[in-house]
Structure 1
Amino acid sequence: MDPLSPEALRASFVNCSKGDAKRMPVPSEAALPPASRWAELDFFGWRDPGHPQAAWMVVGGDVVGQGEPVGIAMKVSSAGSAGRKNMCTLCFTTHSASDMALLVAPLAGPSGRRGNTVGNYVCADLACSLYARGLKRPARAQPHETISVEAKVERLRANLVAFVRRVVAV
């Protein structure tokens, strides 16, 4: 993924109004990953402690097969499975319930304005790219997989594309 500025992050959102994108709390330049780390990301996701029920994700244009990144605004659902382990639907990392979040995204366009949404159980810290590459270890022991890191990254990218397509209704 190419490095993005706060302005580029705001401009990428497809499922919220321009006013909502302008008001969303994006990380400052200083809080963004250094240029050398962007290549390890398939998407940049963040949550803001001041907005605990909100999450945002910007998927690289190279991942979704277009030149521009795609931003998705999401809500953190209170629905969950307390006491159970869960698997991220993007990177297949397993977590305890406290480290997993059901993220619900309004659909882009008129359908989303009518209240239609899609959701995924995702790593609460939105570090799926790092988990898939083995650059970050989850707290819970993981099932053994026989596929390579490259295959895990490809699987993550395919799951991201499917999620983005569901949100933009392509």
Structure 2
Amino acid sequence: MLPLTESQIRGSLINASRKEVKDITLPSDFDDVDWDRLDYYGFRDRKAPRRGYVVVRIDDKPVGVMLRKSEVKPNNRAQCSWCRDVTLPCDVVFFSARRAGSAGKKGDTLGTLVCEDFSCSENVRRLPPLPYEGYDLEAARDRRIVELYEHVVGFAEAVAA
């Protein structure tokens, strides 16, 4: 992923009000982000812990979505809808996103189960478990990286629609 600036992140949000954009608090380690190892940039707001943000490049343009974390955790260990990792080192939680435009103003939302700390890019880069002898682990990892990007783009496009 190409590096993002604070102003690009703020300007990319398609489902946030001007006040919500103004109130964003970036992570304290924002200047140390390893952009080369990310398929999307996701973070939780330090001052509003139930709020999260995801920015993905679509046609070389950053598209951002503001998310809201559910107060209720799933009863069972859920699988992330984006990275689909089965050996997750983190919890998966339900996030909802207000749709962009008039649909969002009417209260329409979309939801998804995602890694609580948005560590999907790291998760898909680990080699998966060997399901059988001769399985191409490298090809599986490459496929998971592509699929992660497609899942995040699909979610952002659904919020924008």
Query: Under a length normalisation based on structure 1, what TM-score does the superposition of the two structures give?
Result: 0.81
Return structure 1 stretches of 4+ with deviation > 6 angstroms: none
Matched letter for residue 17 of structure 1: S
1:41 to 2:38 alignment? yes
Distance 1:87 1:93, change over 3 A: same
Q: Please, which runs of 5 or more residues in structure 1 have no aligned partner?
A: 136-141
Distance in 1 between residues matched to 2:52 and 2:87, nearest whole Å: 18
Identity of counterpart residues, as a percentage? 30
Distance in 2 between residues matched to 1:14 and 1:49, nearest whole Å: 21
Distance in 2 between residues matched to 1:129 and 1:50, nearest whole Å: 24
Matched with 1:68 is 61
Three-state SS of the structure 1 residue aligned to 2:152 is helix
Matched with 2:93 is 101
Query: Under a length normalisation based on structure 2, what TM-score does the superposition of the two structures give?
Result: 0.85
Three-state SS of the structure 1 residue aligned to 2:26 is coil
Matched letter for residue 32 of structure 1: F
1:50 to 2:43 alignment? no
Distance in 1 between residues matched to 2:114 and 2:99, nearest whole Å: 17
Three-state SS of the structure 1 residue aligned to 2:147 is helix
Three-state SS of the structure 1 residue aligned to 2:61 is coil
- Compute the displacement of 1:101 (Å): 1.1
Three-state SS of the structure 2 residue aligned to 1:4 is coil
1:2 to 2:5 alignment? no
Distance 1:19 1:94, change over 3 A: same
State how many pairs are aligned: 154
Matched with 1:91 is 83
Contact 1:6/1:27, CA 8 A, preserved across alignment: no
Contact 2:92/2:114, CA 8 A, preserved across alignment: yes
